[in-house]
Structure 1
Amino acid sequence: MTSTPRSVIIVGGSLAGLMHGVYFKRHGSDVVILEQDPSELRSSHQAGIAFGPAVEEFLRKYDHTGVQSRSPPIATRLAYRKRKDIKRLSIVRHETSWGLLYRVLRANFDGLASDAVPNPPPVRDGDGRAQYLAGRRVTGLEHNRGDQVVSVRFVDQDGKEGSLTADLVIGADGGNSTVRTLLQAPTIRGYSGYVAWRGTVPEKDVSPETARYFADFSTLTLLGDTYFVCYPIPPDTPTFSPGTRLINWVWYWNLAESSSEMADILMDTAGRVHGTTVPAGLVRPEAWKRQLARTVSRVTAPLAELLSATPPSAVFVTKVNDALCEASPVFCDGKVLLVGDAFAHFRPHLTMATEQAAWHCLGLEKVRQGEMEMDQWAKEARVYAKRMHLASNLVGVFGVGRWWELLKTVCQYVVFMVRLNLRKG
């Protein structure tokens, strides 16, 4: 892909799809994003995400909104049971919310105005056309060897079928990627053995002491068999001053997949059992109350207050899964690519999903500029994915006290890194 494709179809309109959409639009491609969610402005669930160097570089190059999209750097602190501050780690991070970054990227991609970006940047000379088509569920993908284009079939909200063709198709449709399935890409998928309870609380809804405790840190609270991560994030608007933010928390909890408890927590307020996630607003109050009662007496006073201040309507719960494509991310003679979670979906402990998407995008920029061959990009993407997959698993099983799995994962990681260094040597 040393030349810019004239037309690009991106399947998936979340952060990975939008990053690639912005990139190709800025370089003159006509880009269509097909997103199965019918909402024109997707719900964020007020989820927090972390910034890494690749995301920073991508926004420095391609964000023209001028909107602050991340927090100042915050440090990392460990708590253990009721001990509030047992160690400070030399890990400094920038945090933001999914909703804010989504709105910034939409403003850059198709000029969507929102509460976060009321005045999107104008189209610039050299930009390609950009369309974000919500409510389109992709059903088919066709490329005949020798064809210059790929055809994508989809169904809209009314059940009407349609199709589009493009020079390049990018699968950016998440851990349960339809594109990856249509390509029959060999993939290792699995349930981690634990779920993630998540929620947010406005800083103003907790005591000043608790707000100050969480204000400048990403706080990891370990209990031996479960753990929490808490940090401040903006709401869906660029608001970063103390008192205006949300305190985001994630709680990892061991739970057998086939247990009656799993079926119970995945049942929503209407009695429907979800496959992976019960969204915010649908978690049954009695399920959250039961979960809270199990642990709130074991944690620090600030964390206990934070959890108790979280209403059921602000809680959601997700089975923690992962997926790792064992093939190259390049298919159909370079006409179809898998990026972001569609290629490798990590457990969330290292918060690398958005970083991987930006890393993929910046790598494709090097390919276009002739600094890297596509084969090299694919090779590096596979190494990156395997390394982050193992590292994320390692942190997760340590945090929830699965010691046998921890030992096994450490061995796998060491063997992988030794083999990698030997190949480099």
Structure 2
Amino acid sequence: MGKSDAFKALIIGGSVGGLAAAHELRSIGAEVAVYERSVGRTQARGAGIVMQPEVEALLANLGLSARSVSVELRERQQLHIRGKAERYRAPQLMTAWDALYRALREPLDDVCYRLDSSLRHVRVEGHDVTAEFPDGHVAQGNFLVGADGIGSATRRLLDATSRPAYAGYVAWRGLEPESAVPEDLLDLLSGRFTFFESSGMQMLCYLVPGANGELEEGSRRVNWVWYVNLAEHDLPRLLAGRSGRQFEHFLPPGELRPEIVEEVTEQADASLAPQFAELVRLSDVFMQPVFDLPPGRILANHAALVGDAAGTVRPHTASGTSKAFGDAAGLAAAMEGWTPRHGLPLRRLEEWEAQRLSHLVRVSEIGIELATRSSLGVPQGDKFFASD
């Protein structure tokens, strides 16, 4: 495909899924531009990421190894309520959102990456797509990719009826420098995937690269997530930030109000293995509610959805990021060779849509099953953080 024949893709969403789409489409000769709604640097919607084949494949295409952005684990261990640990061998690679973001963003320095750009309107005329943004900026291309997450503006414009549904539980999270963790606790956690379960809650922990991608001992971070059942009517109270902002899909670090910090630490002391309770107490806690977004159409006229914009999978599958990367790779394969002078490769795009929706349904079902095993998001599971 000659430069003059290349199509231009407008990618809405500049997190790791959008960056993956940019790389995959560039690999087939497309010109790409990325539009991110964050005003400053895009904020992690999670912390730790389990290395999966789809992620490893894209890194390899960029000349990077999975190990270059990952911490290697050797064992899994289950903690019991009094702190006893049961272990077994289970090698695994763990990365972090910001380490992956950096690895994908740096090779795209020559690409338009526009911040403070939340999609407001889309117009399609022939093979031309026009995207409009609240500040009056207008972008023109030939295909639009919605990679803007669970609160996707792209999805709302393409299908106004599709809405995420609260799954019945939240994920409290922490991401702390290993240098801030007591030596005995770090010895327990280092090199291991550690987890704890009881009715209505599950907690897991592992080390990830440092804030600037460091892999050396002493420079990494301890990442943990604590899933807890929470009634939907209690959610707004916990998503009210100390800045006065009412959040919807993610409560960032530093926004937890002091009285909620106290609730979280008290609940940790009452419910978790002592090592995990200690970890919660020393962390700057943030939170994500867990949502389900049922599969729907992900292909429209000169537009497609990828990642969480297309549909969510429960975090227990460890496949949210890899699903976005797989969506992007398949979309690029379906569009390879297309030029704006010709009709879209509809048969290949429809096959891509069918395959990705089938994958989404399958992984979604697995995630719900895994959550149910831990009594997460089900009526019989214990509830926590109830308002008076």
* TM-score, normalisation: structure 2: 0.87
In structure 1, the partner of 2:307 is: 340
Q: What is the TM-score when the length of structure 1 is the normalising length?
A: 0.80
Within a 5 Å distance, the mapping from 1:274-353 to structure 2 comes to: 274-310=247-283, 314-327=284-297, 329-332=298-301, 335-353=302-320
Shift of 1:319: 1.6
Q: Which moved more, 1:264-273 or 1:131-140?
A: 264-273
Task: Measure, in 1, the Cα distance between the counterparts of 2:45 and 2:9.
Answer: 29
Shift of residue 379, structure 1, vs aligned partner: 1.1
The question of whether the paired residues in 1 share the 8 Å contact of 2:168 and 2:377 is answered with: no
Equivalent residue of 1:227, what SS?
Answer: strand
Aligned equivalents of 1:88 and 1:67: distance in 2? 22
* Equivalent position of 1:56 in the other structure: 56
Report the secondary structure of 2:233's partner residue: coil
Distance 1:263 1:181, change over 3 A: closer
Structure 1's 188 and 380: CA in aligned 2 closer, same or farther, altered over 3 A? farther
Structure 2: 5+ residue runs without aligned partners?
A: 338-346, 382-388
1:84-110 deviations in whole A, cap 9, x for unaligned?
3235375x4321111111111110112
Q: For the structure 1 residues 151 and 65, does the alpha-carbon distance in structure 2 shift closer, same or farther, using more than 3 Å as the test? A: farther
Deviations 1:353-391 (A, max 9, x none): 110111112223433558x93222111100111111111
Runs (4+) off by over 4 Å: 63-67, 401-406
In structure 2, C-alpha distance between the alignment counterparts of 1:176 and 1:271, rounded to whole Å = 20
1:251 CA drift (Å)? 0.9
2:344 is aligned to none
Cα distance in 2 between the residues matched to 1:45 and 1:170: 19
**In 2, distance between residues paired with 1:181 and 1:263?**
22
Q: Map of 1:187-202 to 2, 5 A cutoff?
A: 187=162, 189-202=164-177
Output the amino acid matched with 1:264: R
Give the counterpart letter for 2:193 in structure 1: S
Shift of 1:301: 3.1
Shift of 1:186: 5.5
CA, structure 1 residues 405+107, in 2 after alignment: closer, same or farther (shift >3 Å)? farther
* 1:6 corresponds to 2:7: yes
CA distance in structure 1 between the partners assigned to 2:116 and 2:228 by the alignment: 33
1:170-319 mapped onto 2 (5 Å cutoff): 170-184=145-159, 187=162, 189-259=164-234, 262-310=235-283, 314-319=284-289
Instruction: Indicate the RMSD between aligned Cα atoms, in angstroms.
Output: 2.7
Corresponding residue for 1:107? 106
* Structure 2 counterpart of 1:20: 21
CA distance in 2, matches of 1:102, 1:228: 25
Q: Which residue of 1 aligns with 2:323?
A: 356
Does the aligned pair in 1 maintain the 2:169–2:376 contact within 8 Å? Answer: no
2:340 corresponds to: none
Please say if residues 14 and 42 of structure 2, whose CA atoms lie closer than 8 Å, have aligned partners that are also in contact.
no
Shift of the 89–346 alpha-carbon distance from structure 1 to 2, 3 Å rule, reads: farther
Alpha-carbon distance in structure 1 between the residues aligned to 2:326 and 2:380: 29
Contact preservation (8 Å) 2:311, 2:360: yes
Q: Distance in 1 between matches of 2:158 and 2:195?
A: 39
State the one-letter code of the partner of 1:256: A
% same residue:
25
Letter in 2 for 1:177: S
Q: Name the residue aligned to 2:334.
A: 367
AA aligned to 1:18 is: L
**Residues matched between the structures, number:** 371
Q: Cα distance 1:63–1:354, how it changes in 2: closer, same or farther (>3 A)?
A: farther
Distance 1:65 1:391, change over 3 A: closer
* CA distance 1:17–1:103, shift in 2 (3 Å): same
Q: For residues 22 and 363 of structure 1, do their structure 2 counterparts lie closer, same or farther at Cα, with a shift above 3 Å needed?
A: same
Q: Choose the corresponding residue for 2:118, options 133, 137, 145.
A: 137
